[in-house]
Amino acid sequence: MGGSFCRFVLYKENRDTMEAINLLCKRMKVHSRVFSYAGTKDRRAITVQKVTASKIKAERLLGLNARLHDMKLGNFEYVKEGLKLGDLKGNHFVITLRNVQVESEEIINKTMNVLKEHGFINYFGMQRFGTSSVSTYEIGRALLQNNWEHAVDLILNPRDGDSKDQQQARQHWTENHDAKKALELFPKRCVAECHILSSFVKAGHNKDCAGAIISMPRNLRLMYVHAYQSYVWNKMVSERLHIFGCERPAVGDLVILGEELEDDIVDNDVLINSEDKKEIKVKILKEEDIPNYTIYDVVLPLPGHLVIYPNNNIFEKYKELMWKDHLDPREMKRSIKDFSLSGTYRRIMGKPIDVSWKTLRYNDPKIPLSLNDLDIINGKTEPENVADGTLLALRIHISLSTSQYATMALRELLKTSILEP
């Protein structure tokens, strides 16, 4: 039957999804709107995901493979609808821990069984907050404070960990505030910086910081304010577990009524506002409700003007934290719609859908210890166990629901054992 969308599998190494898509757009000379996907994948991994391209022939996409480094496209088919953020149902991970140091492999089995049976604290992963010395949540906080000048400074000013060309561009901007020259110096991959500087150049001055912020792609603007929501949520789940423990629900906790939750929190990078989806109904637990629920039912809100907050000490913790930032958890409406946060809910504990693991002895510290999808296609064989190998590795297969982070499951594993990555 076919359709006007070409769906394909994107394989990539050490690139995040947006970077990979931008590269495809550059090679094909098309707008980024041509491509759509269900969620973003991390940079620091080998990942595989489905992507759809509107009105693009498979042959054209296939032809890119010869010019792509650490990326491959394949499994082309024509479909009637493009993918949308939120179509994702979950993720499967293969994680290999090298040079594991334990007294016996039985400790590994016990630790893995704890993760399998009890799960992990469902924190947002650190990748949600960026990898530079300026966290995305700090920029989001400035945007929610309507402090446009500070937000622009956080995005443009020098920061640790930048490449040499980025450092040069930031230094020039800081010393001269010459938007045109700074724009020439910034590499095109610095999307936020380039959009802000382009806005200044078009305006002929650097005064309209709000307009410059609005000129950035919408997904980037949303990323910043959602990072602040995630920052607050992570702080609050720590407070919840510190005050009430992780064994059972507490009076005043929130649980979801019905099965709506997983549809309303989507991929790792985008939160659907309640205004855009059906209303999520929550119940505030009373003493008599406690036996009917488990800790895995308990949710906490991401700050917003449409959510209900817990009816216990945790709401005070929300207020304490956000008031320090001159924000109010109940007053999250803004004149700019993208920064007007209605909020949503997230379960405080996560449980793997399935987990399996295997130990592997080896000697060469540089040898690959697992196969990726491209290796399998190319007919490579699985690394063999060396019975008397001096080094020990742990290979984990784990499937998680959407919005859950493998890094946080791994954090729980490493925290509760003497395993060392």
Residue among 16, 42, 165, 354 flagged as catalytic: 42
Q: Is there a catalytic annotation at residue 42?
A: yes
Q: How far is CA 187 from CA 12, 151, 162, in A?
A: 21, 20, 11
Contacts of 112 (CB under 8 A, 6+ apart): 355, 357, 396, 413
Q: How far is CA 170 from CA 134, 187, 215, in A?
A: 13, 11, 19
- Distance from C-alpha of 376 to C-alpha of 378, rounded to nearest angstrom: 5
Residues carrying an active site annotation: 42
